[in-house]
Amino acid sequence: KQWYQRRVAITAGVNSEIEKSGIGAEKFDAIFCVAGGWAGGDAANKDFVKNTDLMMKQSIWTSVISANVAAHHLKEGGVLTLAGAEPCLEGTSFMIGYGLSKAAVHQLTASLAQSGGGLPTGAVVQCILPKTLDTPMNRKFMANADFTTWTPMSYITEMFTKWAEDPSSRHPNGALVKILTIDSITTETVV
């Protein structure tokens, strides 16, 4: 399916779930887009175009659709969080499609944060930039890595919960939030 068709289907699904839930016209405090994936390859790689297409679907499409859902279902003063990536602040020659798609999410964040970006009044958009998340798939494919440099998913969920419940804990609107873990200690820095 084309992404417009997916957006229509997802939006219809969100609207249906909202109707079923009985919350009526009530809006959400927070919307978190955590979709993504990874595929590598430089421009000479035989799977370069295929991998780039996959990365666009997994990162750009999901972020754009989440932004559209937020424009219609996020409360005034709510928070939308998107998933970028710290390595994609620079060139990513060995994973061009991944870098391209995450850099687009960084740009989407900046655009949504501007006046006229389409989000509700007072809403904040933030983009997390982890280096490596401690997920089962990452452990499977990088079994010999130093896990003390990987950000635990519990840190991410606690951070998202804090941002949803306490607006004063959020970073400025449009922030790219670098999440770095060293020796199992995780910090957040706006870049």
Distance CA 99, CA 106 (A): 10
pLDDT (tens digit, 9 = 90+) per residue, 73-106? 999 999 999 999 999 999 999 999 999 999 999 9
pLDDT (tens digit, 9 = 90+) per residue, 18-77? 778 877 678 999 999 998 889 999 999 999 999 999 999 999 999 999 999 999 999 999
Question: To which residue do tokens 């994936």 refer?
Answer: 37
Is 155 annotated as catalytic? no
**Nearest 5 degrees, angle CA 135-CA 136-CA 142?**
85
To the nearest 10 degrees (0 to 180), the angle between helices 48-55 and 96-113 is 30
Choosing from 32, 38, 61, 98, the catalytic residue is: 98
What are the phi and psi torsion angles at 2 (to 5°)?
Answer: -80, 155
The predicted model scores a pTM of 0.92
User: To the nearest whole percent, how much of the chain has pLDDT over 90?
Assistant: 85
